[in-house]
Amino acid sequence: MHSKKIQDSKQRLGKDLAILAHHYQSDAIVKHADLIGDSLQLAAAIPKLKAKYIVFCGVNFMAETAAVLAAPHQKIFLPHPDATCVMADMAPASLVKNILEKLGQRKKIIPLAYVNSSVGVKALCGQYHGSVCTSSNASKMLEWALNQGDQVLFLPDKNLGENMARLSGISSEKVQVIDIRQRGNNLSLEKHSDHKMLLWPGVCAVHFRLKPEKVYRILNDNPQAMVVVHPESHPDVVNLAHESGSTSKIISFVSKAAPGSTIYVGTEDSLVLRLQKEHPDKNILPLGAGYCSNMAKTTPEFLAETLENLDKDNMVKVNEDLAGLARTAVETMLKVSS
Ligand code: SF4
Residues ≥6 apart with Cβ < 8 Å to 146: 110, 152, 168, 170, 196, 197
Ligand 1 atom closest to the CA of 293, numbered from 1: 6
From 60, 209, 247, 292, give the residue whose CB has the most ligand 1 atoms within 8 Å, as the site to mutate: 292
Local structure of 60: helix, strand or coil: helix
- Please count the other Cβ atoms lying within 10 Å of the Cβ belonging to residue 158: 23
* Domain-located, residue 322: no
Residues ≥6 apart with Cβ < 8 Å to 216: 240
Residues 55 and 74 in one domain: yes
Q: Cα–Cα distance between 297 and 84 in angstroms, integer? A: 9
Contacts within 8 Å (CB) and 24+ apart, 167-172: 167/139, 168/139, 168/142, 168/143, 170/146, 170/196, 170/197
Residues 97 and 184 in one domain: yes
* Nearest Cα residue to 117 out of 317, 336, 335, 329: 329
User: What pLDDT sits at residue 66?
Assistant: 92
* Domain-located, residue 336: no
Angle at alpha carbon of residue 193, lines to 190 and 196, rounded to 5°: 150
Residues 66 and 112 in one domain: no
Residues 39 and 65 in one domain: yes
**Is the CB–ligand 1 distance for residue 30 below 6 Å?**
no
Q: Into how many domains does the chain fold? A: 3
Q: Residue 259 C-alpha to ligand 1 middle, in angstroms?
A: 30
Q: Residue 106 C-alpha to ligand 1 middle, in angstroms?
A: 33
Q: Cα–Cα distance between 263 and 244 in angstroms, integer? A: 13
Q: Cα–Cα distance between 59 and 147 in angstroms, integer? A: 32
Boundary of a domain, candidates 203, 236, 255? 203
**Is the CB–ligand 1 distance for residue 116 below 6 Å?**
yes
Q: List the CATH number of the domain containing 273.
A: 3.40.50.10800
Beta strand pairing call for 109-114 and 131-133: parallel
pTM of the predicted protein model: 0.94
User: What pLDDT sits at residue 284?
Assistant: 98
Residues 9 and 68 in one domain: yes
Residues 243 and 229 in one domain: yes
Which residue range is the domain that position 31 belongs to? 2-83+295-317
Residues 60 and 100 in one domain: no
**Protein residue with least CA distance to atom 2, ligand 1:** 204
- Please count the other Cβ atoms lying within 10 Å of the Cβ belonging to residue 41: 18
Angle at alpha carbon of residue 155, lines to 150 and 161, rounded to 5°: 80
Residues 93 and 60 in one domain: no
Residues 70 and 92 in one domain: no
Residues 119 and 191 in one domain: yes
From 116, 207, 210, 298, give the residue whose CB has the most ligand 1 atoms within 8 Å, as the site to mutate: 116
Residues 96 and 192 in one domain: yes
* Domain-located, residue 338: no
Print pLDDT tens along the chain (338 aa).
899 999 999 999 999 999 999 999 999 999 999 999 988 889 889 989 999 999 999 999 999 999 999 999 999 999 999 999 999 999 999 999 999 999 999 999 999 999 999 999 999 999 999 999 998 899 999 999 999 999 999 999 999 999 999 999 999 999 999 999 999 999 999 999 999 999 999 999 999 999 999 999 999 999 999 999 999 999 999 999 999 999 999 999 999 999 999 999 999 999 999 999 999 999 999 999 999 999 999 999 999 999 999 987 789 999 999 999 999 999 999 899 88
**Is the CB of residue 196 less than 8 Å from the CB of residue 149?**
no
Residues 112 and 129 in one domain: yes
Q: Cα–Cα distance between 104 and 318 in angstroms, integer? A: 27
Local structure of 56: helix, strand or coil: strand
